[in-house]
Structure 1
């Protein structure tokens, strides 16, 4: 069933082999249906992405000029370019923007003045997002996979671009690696998976003692660098899941007289502004374009011309001086 076709009671009835009346009774919380049948119907409704008719109609009744942006102040620097892209398209199409952090997102997104949402904050829990979508508010998520009838997922090509980076390192005869990951998320898992896949495919062993956990911040990058410096033998290259952690590691290495890239190479992911000035090799994510396309997609959905198909944003490696002897 296509994502842009609303699921109805008959679809659920066909899936469960019951009558539409039985499905209606369950969805309206009537007590005349057995527990096993009730559970089966509710599970089918969830899997099919059923939106109650009153919620579906809400999309068309809401004011069509204000979009809520679920913004993370935890990693504000990373999202500024995304916000710039969102704002440019919103102004072009006469939309107002309401910027909400995790703490007040639920309150404002549930307002009758909101006609859609863009989800940027990875720390906002899935249940909160799904609850709002169930009320008929269309959404676009960035770097988050959420199957729902009213949610369009826009993801970065994390796996493909990280593979390109690590494959080039291997081709340049690097054989000793450390990996610094961020907080558990789709981004982090995909980047680490690509890293491990390339090493495995090239028969390069990976010492689990050189797998470090950060939280996307410079401080956690510095902490990982301190641990690396305690190793009997430092790795040839530190692969970081984002730029801020890589920058923190580089600064800590340099404070202790360890040269980058002569003594250890370092790379990141995202291409934040500071990366260019520090000469950090990284994967460049087109954040302005991501924001612009996210707002464009949401505007099209609100206007009835868009769809909820997933969309993947490409990213490319930028080679700079923090990596030694790349051929």
Structure 2
């Protein structure tokens, strides 16, 4: 692999002159810079990232840290992050797992966006106490180097529950999410608050983990217990789709008649379920873009405030009210 030294030798200039040319410095004439860049291209020169970081203190890379990449959830979110960063000269690294967090400590990325329940708050605070900047999408923290862009989970879960109750249901199941998930816990808290106001509703809670398999397991239990029309609030669309699939294949029950179902997230696949899956909608693309905007503002020294992504209800197309 060619080095700056190789370029300098072929160009007949000093190493410092090559460095100035490669970094666009005005200390080198346009003619000399053009000749050096042509030689660098000819030699397939690739800048050494660590050396460049030492010099510029900037990588123009942003890392987003996710628990995993499963399901249909992340696509629009990542696209929103990527689109915003690209317009401002940054690239995106998508990271998962504890080893990838070294990128923060080693300053290989300029800032971090966190949507990873396995990324402990204690570890995150260690980084930010050392000057690293982060935007969190999955927790509430008060720190000068951390800002938060959160979903309005409480409003969304309240809309979902009230929608089902308005159909006249007096028996409601909720399929929960992963125990460590901030979003799942916020949604479940709102569910409990609604139920506490309407004690005549028979309420059942089924453990889930945001996967289609969890939805299928919940559907099996609901089908076995079925005696009258029921409503089900799955705390995300993945589980709702798993539940729908099981009921359609393995039972005589009909979604929209025997079981009224609502999810959360309005993922693309939910739009193709028939009857149309009722769900809580928000812009994942906007969520990603806003998180990126906040992080870049922090990196440039601008002041920022916590932001919230608002939600709305999408009703199922064929749901039949009981009353």
- The answer to whether the superposition gives a TM-score over 0.5 is yes
- Are the structure 2 counterparts of residues 322 and 287 from structure 1 closer, same or farther at C-alpha, using a change threshold of 3 Å? farther
Determine the structure 2 residue equivalent to 1:320.
Answer: 316
Of residues 255, 260, 266, the one that matches 2:261 is: 266
Determine the structure 2 residue equivalent to 1:294.
Answer: 291
Mapped partners of 1:135, 1:250: distance in 2: 48
1:141 and 2:133 correspond: no
Matches within 5 A, 1:108-119: 108-119=103-114
Mapped partners of 1:233, 1:130: distance in 2: 51
Is this contact kept in 2: 1:158–1:187, CA < 8 A?
A: yes
Determine the structure 2 residue equivalent to 1:14.
Answer: none
Mapped partners of 1:273, 1:238: distance in 2: 20
Query: Which structure has the larger Rg over C-alpha atoms?
Result: 2
What root-mean-square deviation, in Å, do the aligned CA atoms of Structure 1 and Structure 2 show? 2.1
| Secondary structure of residue in 1 paired with 2:308 | strand
Mapped partners of 1:263, 1:326: distance in 2: 10
Is this contact kept in 2: 1:267–1:323, CA < 8 A?
A: no
Q: Tell me by how many angstroms 1:286 deviates.
A: 0.9
Is this contact kept in 1: 2:280–2:312, CA < 8 A?
A: yes
1:201 and 2:175 correspond: no
Is this contact kept in 2: 1:267–1:322, CA < 8 A?
A: no
Determine the structure 2 residue equivalent to 1:97.
Answer: 92
Mapped partners of 2:322, 2:106: distance in 1: 53
| Secondary structure of residue in 1 paired with 2:175 | strand
- The gaps in structure 2 that reach 5 residues or longer are 1-55
1:220 and 2:208 correspond: no
| Secondary structure of residue in 1 paired with 2:109 | coil
Determine the structure 1 residue equivalent to 2:58.
Answer: 63
- Are the structure 2 counterparts of residues 76 and 228 from structure 1 closer, same or farther at C-alpha, using a change threshold of 3 Å? closer
Of residues 256, 261, 281, the one that matches 1:284 is: 281
Moved over 4 A (4+): none
Mapped partners of 2:202, 2:212: distance in 1: 24
Determine the structure 2 residue equivalent to 1:254.
Answer: 248
Q: Tell me by how many angstroms 1:90 deviates.
A: 0.6
CA displacement 1:10-32 (0-9 Å, x = unmatched): xxxxxxxxxxxxxxxxxxxxxxx
CA displacement 1:60-101 (0-9 Å, x = unmatched): x83162211113334352111111011111111101222211
CA displacement 1:27-51 (0-9 Å, x = unmatched): xxxxxxxxxxxxxxxxxxxxxxxxx
Determine the structure 1 residue equivalent to 2:187.
Answer: 191
Q: Tell me by how many angstroms 1:149 deviates.
A: 2.3
**TM-score normalised by structure 2 residue count:** 0.77
Mapped partners of 1:94, 1:181: distance in 2: 40
- The gaps in structure 1 that reach 5 residues or longer are 1-60
